[in-house]
């Protein structure tokens, strides 16, 4: 069973609630129907009920098992506005109400207040907007200040193994992370790996140097990030700095890494030093190795929120929902 099928099986029949803030989009409606049909969760669509109903009729979608919430008129707006105001002295009740009546903010407030288990959006909103909504509503994981992303990469044939999974991070959000941000990315990625991989995370901090084979400010950043993670998560299997081959190929690691390592040659979580390298690497892997690239998924939030690409298909939405729900199990 592949990872997506395994994840769907894990969440099936649990009745977990899934908020989809872009409920008027045809792809979202089609995904909601599939989520019900596959018993992945209980979809909640946000938007104008008349527009949602018209779109559903147009594409032949059944509303059975799907809840629709009118953002302009419902009994939770004042409750969410009051909750949103907590800890904020510089916001009025009317402004808070306007904020939480926006679809992304409303969906995230549902998650914050326990009225939904996850929220997934992005087909009609920029990633930056979703990140802003997440930070201002559910907040961040304890000890993490950086929102980042990961891709689940499935390599069809790697070192004689079929369908080998890797976590690649960060490939979509942070352009040039500081050492502290890179450490946050590594810690969040390890937590993501625990949820989606069928093995413990082994985190490699990547560079163009392996254990001092070269010197530069960018390598120093990776080394510093590694030390920060070690101090925060002493039990985590993490090592670096590594060139990519030293991280994932045992025979190369045996030649280049002279000290004992839990990670060298067997990493399953790859942390790239910047967005240039991460984005290039995942796309090269996807097309040159015919790999499956699933994501990107946002990570670092205190509660599960996920992003979608603007071009996501209904099946992409379903898979992202399943992967995000898996964070709760």
Helix axes 49-59, 26-37, angle to 10 degrees: 70
CA-based nearest residue to 265, from 169, 191, 159, 153:
159
Which range has the worst mean pLDDT, 36-40, 86-90, 234-238, 268-272?
86-90
* 268 and 320 belong to one structural domain: no
Query: Is residue 195 pLDDT above 90, yes or no?
Result: no
Instruction: Give the burial string for 158-173 (b: 16+ CB within 10 Å, else e).
Output: beeeeebbbbbbbbbb
> Does one domain contain both 125 and 163?
no
Residue 153 shares a structural domain with residue 104 = no
| Same-domain status, 111 and 178 | no
For the chain, counts of helices (H) and of strands (E): 13, 11
> Do residues 249 and 310 both lie within one domain?
no
Phi and psi, residue 6, nearest 5°: -65, -40
Distance between CA atoms of 244 and 260, rounded to whole angstroms?
18
**Does the structure show a pLDDT above 90 at 4?**
no
CATH number (domain holding residue 119): 3.40.50.10950
Tell me the per-residue pLDDT of 116-127, one tens digit each, with 9 for 90 and over: 999 999 999 999
Note the pLDDT of residue 197.
86
Q: Report how many domains make up the chain.
A: 2
- Separation between Cα atoms, residue 133 and residue 9, nearest integer Å: 30
Instruction: Indicate the average pLDDT of the chain.
Output: 94
Give pLDDT tens digits for 46-86. 999 999 999 999 999 988 999 999 998 888 999 999 999 99
Q: Tens digits of per-residue pLDDT, 92-114?
A: 999 999 999 999 999 999 999 99
Q: Do 236 and 312 belong to one domain? A: no
Whether 186 and 289 share a structural domain: yes
Q: Assess whether pLDDT exceeds 80 at residue 198.
A: no
Question: Based on the domain organization, do 266 and 317 belong to the same domain?
Answer: no
Same domain, 282 and 306: no
Q: Are residues 156 and 288 located together in one domain of the fold?
A: yes
What residues make up the domain containing 131? 3-139+301-328
Pair 134, 236 in one domain = no
Count of Cβ atoms closer than 10 Å to residue 212 Cβ: 9
CATH of the domain at 218: 3.40.50.10750
For position 54, what pLDDT does the model report?
A: 94
Domain shared by 52 and 179, yes or no: no
pLDDT, tens digit, 9 for 90 and up, residues 155-190: 999 999 999 999 999 999 999 999 999 999 999 999
């Amino acid at each position: 069973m592949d990872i997506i099928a395994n994840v769907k099986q894990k969440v099936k029949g649990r009745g977990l609630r899934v908020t989809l803030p872009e409920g008027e989009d045809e792809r979202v409606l089609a995904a909601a129907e599939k989520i019900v049909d596959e018993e992945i969760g209980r979809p909640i669509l946000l938007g104008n009920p008349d527009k949602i109903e018209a779109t559903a009729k147009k594409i032949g979608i059944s509303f059975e098992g799907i809840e629709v919430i009118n953002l302009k008129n419902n009994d939770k707006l004042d409750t969410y506005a009051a909750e949103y105001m907590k800890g904020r002295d510089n916001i009025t009740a009317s402004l808070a109400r306007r904020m939480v009546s926006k679809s992304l903010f409303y969906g995230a407030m549902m998650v914050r207040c326990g009225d939904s288990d996850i929220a997934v959006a992005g087909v009609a909103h920029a990633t930056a907007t979703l990140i802003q909504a997440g930070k201002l509503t559910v907040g961040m994981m304890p000890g993490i200040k950086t929102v980042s992303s990961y891709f689940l990469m499935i390599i069809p044939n790697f070192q004689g193994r079929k369908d080998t999974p890797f976590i690649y991070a960060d490939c979509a959000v942070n352009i040039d992370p500081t050492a502290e941000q890179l450490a946050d990315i590594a810690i969040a990625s390890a937590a993501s790996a625990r949820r989606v991989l069928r093995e413990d995370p082994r985190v490699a901090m990547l560079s163009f140097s392996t254990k001092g084979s070269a010197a530069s400010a960018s390598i120093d950043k990776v080394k510093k990030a590694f030390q920060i993670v070690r101090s925060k998560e002493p039990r985590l299997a993490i090592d670096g700095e590594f060139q990519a081959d030293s991280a994932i190929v045992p025979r190369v690691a045996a030649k280049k890494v002279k000290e004992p390592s839990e990670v060298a040659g067997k990493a399953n979580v790859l942390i790239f030093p910047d967005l240039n390298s991460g984005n290039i690497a995942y796309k090269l892997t996807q097309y040159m190795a015919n790999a499956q690239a699933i994501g990107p998924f946002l990570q670092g939030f205190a509660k599960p929120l996920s992003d979608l690409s603007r071009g996501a298909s209904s099946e992409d939405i379903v898979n992202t929902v399943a992967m995000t729900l898996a964070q709760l199990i």
